[in-house]
Structure 1
Amino acid sequence: MNREDTVKNRHFLADKRWVFPLFIAGLIAGVILTSSFMKSADSSLLCSVANIRSSSQAVAENSATPIQLQAIVHYATSRIVPQQSFGEISVTLDVLKKRSPCNFLVFGLGYDSLMWTSLNPNGNTTFLEEDPKWVQTVLKDAPSLHAHPVKYRTQLQEADRLLTHYRSEPSCFPSEAYLRGNEKCKLALTGFPDEFYDTEWDLIMIDAPRGYFPEAPGRMAAIFSAAVMARNRKGPGVTHVFLHDVDRKVEKTFAEEFLCRKYLVKSVGRLWHFEIPSAADMSSHGGANFC
């Protein structure tokens, strides 16, 4: 390869690193345009039936939110990309297109947080992060994000013992399980912000806490608690739960134990998507097993 070809190849590789961030920025812009078009069409239809909206109000509703504009600029000018692949992101995006604005709970605060918030405009997107210093770092550049630092009381190395504990502790059983103040059930997330317990979450993304070394919190309690919240849902419809890193043993084992294979509706890459009905909508919801 001559010098000219080498230079061209280096330029190609450098340009390639920009492809995904630009694609994410384009994705967000596309969602804004699509949403705006659909809302404009709905507004026109409603106005033809009854003049209930002013044109200025319709324009305001169809405008991009500040967080969406910030996300477009951020991803268009940064080489730092979201942790998930485009295929994995698309699974959640398809649900957000139908459910947004909604209550979206995300375990983990990361490089994709601006994206998730912008894809749920006018909704409530809340992030839970185990590292308080990281929360400060992220919010310094994106203060409009809604995030809480939280503490977990489990460790990855306890995974097997936690499964044994759950099977013998009545306060962990699906018919009895609750979260706030449930100290007896070691898998229940306790001591979290009130918003975590008081909000009925439509979508739950589990992409944290850390689960790749023995002393890490692991995602056991997050998976269990997501299942409990979904089963206790009072509103209509299912709870969408997205679990990342299912190639790891603990994530897969706890997903099959609490989120249930029968509720798994899609699998892309390392992401599983579950649609979990409330206990009231289940044909059978008694006993000591979630599935």
Structure 2
Amino acid sequence: MPPQEPSSSQTNAPLLRILSPKTSLIQTTRERSSLTMNLTKRKLILLLVFILVAASLLRVLRITISTSYLPSLEHVQNAKNPSHTTKILSDKELNFLSDIILEKSPCNILVFGLEEQLYLKLPSINKGGTTIFLEDNQEKLDKMNANVEGTRFYKIKYKTSAKEAYELFKHARTHSSCSFRSGVRSLASKCKIALTGLPNEVLKTKWDVIVVDGPGGDGPESPGRMGAIYMAGVLARAGNGTNVVVHDVDRTIEKWFSWEFLSEKNLVSSKGKFWNFRIAKKKKLISLKPSV
């Protein structure tokens, strides 16, 4: 008899072995492994996003703390020991301001604030020029030597406190009486942020350098520098190209009001906590109402 042909069941045996449960288990394991890898990637991406968000929140928190009204260690030490002269400015900041003044001296300098560390030196830096200090603290004024040639001290009063900064900011933005574009015709009433009652000499002089380092502004109840920065902007635009130097720009009020009333486009240099703005002469004359 001729040899028998293999049956169909024998021919398909290898195929059945390929599709055995063991092979299916291997395929399932591979699919699970692939799914696990995909889940791991998703977890890594979510973890990375979480880390970035946490880092951003920490940065915001750090900025908030640095611009808060909490008094610095230097202020606390000075309060405990009134005879101690606090070093308000670093040596770099001191040299920065001195260089700005030396480029123009002898010139007209107006200073909001009165700190011993620097401002007693200004008359010698600006020898032959005029230096005027505006201060609200009578105790500081009593310590000054009123006989220094070319130097004068005036006591002024601030009617607003630092806690009113946001409302004053909105007021100045929405009231035409505070606008530089239309020109400030009178500072007697409508613009709440304007400092009224300033000496006639201050309003009439064309200032070459204006320094804003007062009032203290180190607490919500203390006078903030809103009006001082605003007035620096008003007086600078009535000058012939005035440098306005603002100190403590790491604080919220100083930062906001400098951007608004001195303008970012006018910022020419900075050092430490100082911003130096160069204000070009305003074409339209600004009329200011002096105190009676």
- Aligned residue type for 2:272: G
The separation in 2 between residues aligned to 1:259 and 1:169, in whole angstroms, is 17
Determine which of 87, 100, 104 is the counterpart of 2:109: 104
Give the match's secondary structure for 1:99. Answer: coil
Q: Which residue of 2 aligns with 1:153?
A: 159
Distance 1:181 1:257, change over 3 A: closer
Q: How far apart are 1:207 and its partner, in Å? A: 0.5
Q: Which residue of 2 aligns with 1:255?
A: 258
State the Cα RMSD in Å. 2.0
Q: Which residue of 2 aligns with 1:198?
A: 204
Q: Which residue of 1 aligns with 2:244?
A: 241
Larger Rg: 2
Q: How far apart are 1:246 and its partner, in Å? A: 0.5
Give the match's secondary structure for 2:214. Answer: coil
Question: Is there any run of 5+ residues in structure 1 with no aligned partner, and where?
Answer: 1-77, 282-291
Q: Which residue of 1 aligns with 2:169?
A: 163
What is the percentage of aligned positions where both structures have the same residue?
Answer: 41
Q: Which residue of 2 aligns with 1:125?
A: 131
Give the match's secondary structure for 1:241. Answer: strand
The separation in 2 between residues aligned to 1:244 and 1:123, in whole angstroms, is 22
Q: Which residue of 2 aligns with 1:178?
A: 184
Superposition TM-score, scaled by structure 2 size: 0.64
- Aligned residue type for 1:168: T
Could you tell me whether the CA contact under 8 Å between 1:179 and 1:188 is conserved in 2? Answer: no
Distance 1:93 1:175, change over 3 A: same
The separation in 1 between residues aligned to 2:176 and 2:222, in whole angstroms, is 26
Determine which of 86, 91, 94 is the counterpart of 2:96: 91
Q: How many residues align?
A: 199
- Which digits, 9 at most, give the CA deviation of each residue in 1:246-267, with x for residues without a partner? 0101100111111111111111
The separation in 2 between residues aligned to 1:245 and 1:119, in whole angstroms, is 22
Could you tell me whether the CA contact under 8 Å between 1:179 and 1:190 is conserved in 2? Answer: no
Superposition TM-score, scaled by structure 1 size: 0.64
- Which digits, 9 at most, give the CA deviation of each residue in 1:221-267, with x for residues without a partner? 1111111111222x3xx200100000101100111111111111111
The separation in 2 between residues aligned to 1:167 and 1:100, in whole angstroms, is 35
Could you tell me whether the CA contact under 8 Å between 1:171 and 1:184 is conserved in 2? Answer: yes
Could you tell me whether the CA contact under 8 Å between 1:239 and 1:277 is conserved in 2? Answer: yes
- Aligned residue type for 1:252: K
Distance 1:79 1:215, change over 3 A: closer
Q: How far apart are 1:156 and its partner, in Å? A: 0.4
Q: Which residue of 2 aligns with 1:116?
A: 122
The separation in 2 between residues aligned to 1:81 and 1:209, in whole angstroms, is 16
Q: How far apart are 1:82 and its partner, in Å? A: 5.2
- Aligned residue type for 1:86: D
Q: How far apart are 1:132 and its partner, in Å? A: 1.7
Q: Which residue of 1 aligns with 2:62?
A: none
Alignment of 1:15-164 (within 5 A): 80=85, 83-111=88-116, 112-139=118-145, 143-144=147-148, 145-164=151-170
Distance 1:266 1:164, change over 3 A: same
- Aligned residue type for 1:130: D
Q: How far apart are 1:216 and its partner, in Å? A: 1.1
